[in-house]
Amino acid sequence: MEDEKAAVRATIFNHLSGIALAPSVAALADRGVFRMFDSPATWITLDEIAARTHANRGYLRVALRLLTSCGWLRQRTEENGQPPTYSVTPEGAVGVQLAAPLYHEVISFIPKALFLEDFLYGKFDGPVLPSLQALVGRARARWLATPQADPLAARVAETIRGHLDGVLIGPAMVALARGGVLARLEQGPVETRTLAGNQASLHCLFDLLATQDWLVREGNSVRLTSRGLYAAQIATSYGVTVSYLPMFNALPTLLFGNARGPRVDESGVELLVNRGMNVWGSGGAHKTYFKKVDEIIIEIFNRPLARQPQGICDMGCGDGTFLEHLYEVVKQKTARGKVLDQHPLVLVGADFNKVARRVAKQHLRKAGVPVCHVIPGDINRPAQLGSDLEALGLDVHDLLHVRSFLDHNRPYSPPANYVQGSRRGKSTSAFAYLGEEIPADELEENLVRYLRRWAPYVGRFGLLVLELHTLPPELAAANLRQTPVVAYDGTHGYSDQYLVELPIFLECAREAGLQADDRYHAKFPASELATVSVNFFTALAGVSGPELVMSTAVSHT
């Protein structure tokens, strides 16, 4: 059974890679990038590729790193800060030749996939059905012939099939999950006529799932196979990557056009990501990590009262779900929970987004949280947070600070007075802001300074951080069946988010004056392939906030 689950996860990881790679390869092919590589012996600099294609250098480097991480390019970096150079691998030479026309074909579905839920459950699915039927037919025919005489080409062809399937199956699984169809199927065989939605489109999607051996038809009913049942149970795994389809639809513009266009519309709605879908996908994926977080929360709030924080502050609280979860853990599983009448737990949610704050207030009120404040917050300005809390009669130092997958999504500003090359950049990642490249050394300097601003404010009760990370491309390419990192790097690299490798994140934190407590450190998976970490940081000597007065922590309640 575990082998079967691992196979399903490997399939999903390949699907997710395809969602990021197909539009990237198609856009690069249209600009003639791959024609520059005459042979595996040809090495071309980033500068030359950018000049010849008139690309936005930052996003170009993201795209080339994706191809390096999937094993289609080699990247050579120079110690002296010179731009990287690239050459095509044998897999890449075969892959581009086989895949480029097919990637163009399948990404033609992305504009329709943006509205798949509306078509599937609305009154009229005419605009999407013919295109969907044609592409599902291609998937059923397995897209391309398998090269029999060349084992390398056969292996690459199978990977490409997964990429192509992913562009269709990702949106399909999200739409079926969010519409409740997968939940019905998890209960057992279902007569299709009893399912809400446009029957022709539903049958088309069921045919698509059947190509993966996830679903079978039995007369007028459909049922999930054991593999399909597991895929349905982890369908939220597709959510975050699929939520970025608006961005992938705009990728030619980001790579080769005006990369400084608006990211939000006049009403504040994001243009490059479906935020509701993103939150849905994130919520499903984060449950595993919350178990480790719970252990830390339980230990902190089982301490003697005088050594406990007055409350919890979540910077980037979103819709308040994480804060509500932490409140329930304290209430149900800790000594503090038994005395909340005498020592209430103060919850503070801070968020930059006005809509998020409104939803968080409603969410926490509905959850019955008795003492909570939801306020504007900027992750780059902890001093402002301290001032705003003081206006509420709260001391920023009396709170446990938590963050959930936010540090990599901080707004970027170049470090003032930083001299390029003053430090040696260690990250292999590609960083961009509005299309402009951010060198690794500058990004790491930015990260250190950002964390250093927080150190004085979390010295008393600590900082609990869940964070997302990248992997070196060579490691990713050697383990594509075990990691979704190619998709992560695509969604985050093109949207101006800054994933660094876990060891580098910890190094930067320590340089900033924050020490990770080894007792509470966890990484997922628990190997060199870790792309998620949980860390509880305390301030190193000399950078903590006001001295801890043991009787102060709960006396303000």
Residues 15 and 161 both lie in one domain: yes
pLDDT over 80 at 141, yes or no = yes
What pLDDT score was predicted for residue 257?
97
Query: Domain ends where: 359, 394, 429?
Result: 394
What pLDDT score was predicted for residue 83?
85
| Residue 543: pLDDT band with limits 50, 70, 90 | low
Residues 328 and 188 both lie in one domain: no
What does the pLDDT average to over 409-423? 93
What pLDDT score was predicted for residue 181?
97
Provide the CATH number for the domain around residue 315: 3.40.50.150
What does the pLDDT average to over 45-56? 97
| Residue 79: pLDDT band with limits 50, 70, 90 | low
What pLDDT score was predicted for residue 551?
31
pLDDT over 60 at 236, yes or no = yes
> DSSP labels for 51-87?
HHHT--HHHHHHHHHHHHHTTSEEEE--TTSPPPEEE
Residues 165 and 220 both lie in one domain: yes
What does the pLDDT average to over 103-122? 95
Give the chain's mean pLDDT.
93
What pLDDT score was predicted for residue 1?
82
pLDDT over 60 at 555, yes or no = no
| CA–CA gap between residue 120 and residue 232 (Å, rounded) | 18
What does the pLDDT average to over 324-331? 96
Range of the domain at 365: 287-308+311-394
Residues 381 and 333 both lie in one domain: yes
Query: Domain ends where: 367, 394, 421?
Result: 394
Contacts of 129-134 spanning 24+ positions with Cβ under 8 A: 129/198, 129/200, 129/201, 129/204, 132/168, 132/201, 132/204, 132/205, 133/204
Neighbours of 92 (CB within 10 A): 24
Residue 191 located in a structural domain: yes
What pLDDT score was predicted for residue 356?
84
Residues 251 and 291 both lie in one domain: no
Number of domains, the chain: 2
Query: Domain ends where: 394, 413, 443?
Result: 394
Token pair belonging to 312: 């919890």
Percent of the chain with pLDDT over 70: 96
Residues 19 and 158 both lie in one domain: yes
Token pair belonging to 502: 């876990």
What does the pLDDT average to over 249-264? 96
Q: What's the farthest any 2 CA atoms get from each other in the chain? A: 77
- Exposed/middle/buried for 462, CB within 10 Å: 0-12, 13-18, 19+? buried
pTM (predicted TM-score): 0.94
Residue 76 located in a structural domain: no
| CA–CA gap between residue 457 and residue 455 (Å, rounded) | 6
Cβ 384 vs Cβ 378: under 8 Å: yes
| CA–CA gap between residue 482 and residue 479 (Å, rounded) | 5
Residue 525 located in a structural domain: no
What's the pLDDT tens digit per position in 175-217? 999 999 999 999 999 999 999 999 999 999 999 999 999 999 9
Residue 530 located in a structural domain: no
What does the pLDDT average to over 90-109? 96
Residues 302 and 204 both lie in one domain: no
Residues 112 and 181 both lie in one domain: yes
Residue 509 located in a structural domain: no
List the beta bridge partners of residue 437: 432
Residues 250 and 366 both lie in one domain: no
What does the pLDDT average to over 14-34? 98
| CA–CA gap between residue 460 and residue 437 (Å, rounded) | 37
Token pair belonging to 22: 């197909």
| CA–CA gap between residue 403 and residue 280 (Å, rounded) | 18
Residues 205 and 146 both lie in one domain: yes
Residues 155 and 10 both lie in one domain: yes
Helix (H, G, I), strand (E, B) or coil at 9: helix
Cβ 522 vs Cβ 530: under 8 Å: no
| Residue 169: pLDDT band with limits 50, 70, 90 | very high
Residue 19 located in a structural domain: yes
What does the pLDDT average to over 43-53? 96
**Range 434-454 burial, b when 16+ CB lie within 10 A, else e:** ebbbbebbbbbbbbbbbbbeb
